[in-house]
Structure 1
Amino acid sequence: MRYLRVVAVGGFVLLAAAASLFGAGLRPSPEPSEPPRLSASLEIRRLNPQPDTVALAVTNAGDTEVTVRHVRLVSASLAESAGTEVSVTVPADATRDVFIPVPTAMCGDDIAPATAPATAELRVSSRGVEHAVALPLAHPNGTLDRLVGRDCATALLARTARVEFGDWRSAPSGVLLGELRVIRVGGDLPITLDSVTGNPHYAVTPVTAGPPLGELPPGTAELSVPVEVDANRCDAHALAEAKKPWLFPFRLTVGAWEVPGEVTVSETDQAAMEAMQAVRC
């Protein structure tokens, strides 16, 4: 009987101690938070909030909003990056764009390398809990192909040729006469100047019939093509709205590859065009 009384008293003490602990705030550990149900795609938007950015469209298939805190794109086709700090909230059952810097491509000697699979590594928060999630992007990926191709074309151009204006003089009409020069800076691939265009401020017209406008064979250092530059539009609205008055796109063929670029415009070029515009307008 004494033994039973001791056991009963001991059990009561243990229960009382447990109740006291829980009453003091000790609770069973909560269940681990489930990671958010997210997916992502890489998109090139027509209107980006900042230049040289690309949109990671993040879709939240869950029932709770998620805030994206950090994004890093990982692929064998991209240079390693520390990623980008962001703060974009994606509501439940919705998609939001997270704009990040355009990644740097790993090109080698190929202007259009086949892109490797890519993953978007995200750090997100939901209901006060942070999660690290890895979202595989579609493969093949047309957007990534385009970004890598553009980067590799720019790299090829930088190590092959420079395109610039020169030798300005005025015609009796006030139109500006000059040259568009393709100057070899490296390699010995054949280079063809296919086209050059103007912008809302200035019209550029090659005097040479084309395309092509001219060729730079292996072993030659420079190609010069005569051009005329005239005021394109003179109304105040057009002049005020034009965002890039010094943007003159061109296309080259370097070896077997078509390479787009923009003419390098010096302060001398700008002064000559502005003086011509003042006369012609």
Structure 2
Amino acid sequence: MTPTPRARLMSRFTVGVVVAIVTVGLAACAAPSAPAGVPDGITAELRQGRFDVEARQLVVHVENGSPSPLDVDRLTVTAPVFAQPLEHDRSFDLSAGQGIDIRIDLPDPQCGSGEGEPRVDLRGRIGDQPFMGVVAPTDPFDTLERIGATDCLTASVDAVAAITLPEHLRTTGDGAAKRAWIDVVLTPEPTGDASFTVDVVHGTTLLNAEDGPEWPLALDVAAGGEPITVPLAVRPARCDAHAIADDKRGTILPFEITTSDGLTGRIDRSSGDTLQAELYDYVTERCGLG
């Protein structure tokens, strides 16, 4: 039986609907397009300010040199001096030409076995276009090298003994005749065959040794030994009102140390709040600034 014109029209319509449905279904099932790489003009720089050193944070300065606004969902820093990647998973926006400092807490160091170049992985969007890729960061001040050297020296020292500043300043006398000592305690680990030498404790912008700018010690410390108390006689490094008002690191003592495994460098030890306040009071009284 020959189909009527109406039947032929309905048949074509049905086929068209089915084709359309199949096409839409296939499009819906198709895999989304892969994210693009990091856009041109996006740069990263590694750095630390003096307060970041004290807070044990790395600063990643990200600059958007592209012509479009940028949304970053995740930032990860990988470097051979760190035992694990540094991750920042809080999103941030950057307008064209804008930069931002991202601060990330430092992980434990990886000493002696790290290989490869540092990298910054970025994931985000420019407009509706997702991107994901790697930026080779600059390190103009050798921040990673310094962090690695300091952290590995600190780990080597800590394996031998703890270096602790006292809670309180020890003092005698009054006024210009007042004298003071910071009684540093070195407490060796109970066992081990490692050692280190405290070569010198450097003076600071606020404090010097009573008889010179620093404290030369040449003090040997070994694991398994007895605790050692080192009285550092201190005097003001300067006697003006700005010495305390502008102080940033004057109560942080720098210890120059050489370890038995061949490391050498400086380790800082910070005064606690009470010791810091008593040091400020001592400088004020001895200098007659009160």
Letter in 2 for 1:203: L
Q: Is residue 277 of structure 1 aligned with residue 284 of structure 2?
A: yes
Match of 2:83 in 1: 79
What TM-score, normalized to structure 1? 0.69
> 1:213 offset after TM fit, Å?
0.6
Structure 2 CA distance for aligned equivalents of residues 43 and 268 of structure 1: 33
Match of 1:149 in 2: 149
Match of 2:38 in 1: 37
Q: Is residue 70 of structure 1 aligned with residue 77 of structure 2?
A: no
Q: Tell me the matched-pair count.
A: 268
Q: Is residue 252 of structure 1 aligned with residue 257 of structure 2?
A: yes
Structure 2 CA distance for aligned equivalents of residues 52 and 217 of structure 1: 28
Letter in 2 for 1:123: R
- Which of 213, 222, 236 aligns to 1:230? It is 236
Identity %: 11
What TM-score, normalized to structure 2? 0.67
Match of 1:215 in 2: 218
Cα deviation digits, residues 156-198 of structure 1 (max 9, x gap): 3333341536754348842424366462524542403224112
1:10 alignment partner, SS class: helix
- Which of 87, 90, 94 aligns to 1:90? It is 94
Match of 1:205 in 2: 209
2:195 alignment partner, SS class: coil
Unaligned runs of 5+ in 1: none
Structure 1 CA distance for aligned equivalents of residues 50 and 138 of structure 2: 25
Letter in 1 for 2:89: E
Cα deviation digits, residues 29-57 of structure 1 (max 9, x gap): 69836524345544114477894332324
Unaligned runs of 5+ in 2: none
**Residue 230 of structure 1 contacts residue 276 of structure 1 at CA under 8 Å; is this kept in 2?**
yes
Letter in 1 for 2:278: A
Provide the alpha-carbon RMSD of the alignment.
4.4
- Which of 179, 185, 188 aligns to 1:185? It is 188
Match of 1:262 in 2: 268
